[in-house]
């Protein structure tokens, strides 16, 4: 039974048994699972209202699906993928920074 409802926003997987046990029964929690905006910011492409259009395109290019309105977590594998692939994707992106969709990015 999963006490904390978690799915990776990138690949859709649930935590493994070891990740679940650590997350639910230790003080470390789900420390390896982080919000997508944190990873994007660490790589140098923060998700803000001003850069939402680019962020949506980068998420789509990385994971093959639209960026969810209510983002939660990326698993460690998807975080690694962002770290490796995002700089090249973002440097090749020529679209507008803004988005026509209204959403809040924390």
Contact between residue 37 and residue 46 where contact means Cβ atoms under 8 Å apart: yes
The whole-number average pLDDT for the span 64-81 is: 95
Mean pLDDT of the chain: 87
At 34-55, the pLDDT tens digits run: 999 999 999 999 998 888 888 9
Contact between residue 77 and residue 11 where contact means Cβ atoms under 8 Å apart: yes
At 91-103, the pLDDT tens digits run: 888 776 666 565 5
Contact between residue 20 and residue 29 where contact means Cβ atoms under 8 Å apart: no
Residue 69 DSSP one-character state: S
């Amino acid at each position: 039974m999963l006490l904390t409802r978690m799915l990776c926003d990138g690949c859709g997987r649930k935590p493994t048994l070891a990740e679940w046990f650590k997350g639910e029964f230790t003080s470390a929690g789900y420390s390896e699972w982080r919000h997508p905006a944190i990873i994007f910011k660490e790589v140098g492409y923060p998700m803000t209202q001003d850069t939402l259009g680019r962020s949506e395109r980068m998420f789509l290019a990385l994971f093959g699906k639209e960026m969810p309105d209510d983002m939660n977590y990326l698993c460690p594998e998807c975080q690694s993928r962002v770290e490796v692939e995002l700089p090249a994707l973002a440097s090749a992106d020529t679209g507008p920074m803004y988005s026509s969709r209204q959403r809040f990015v924390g």
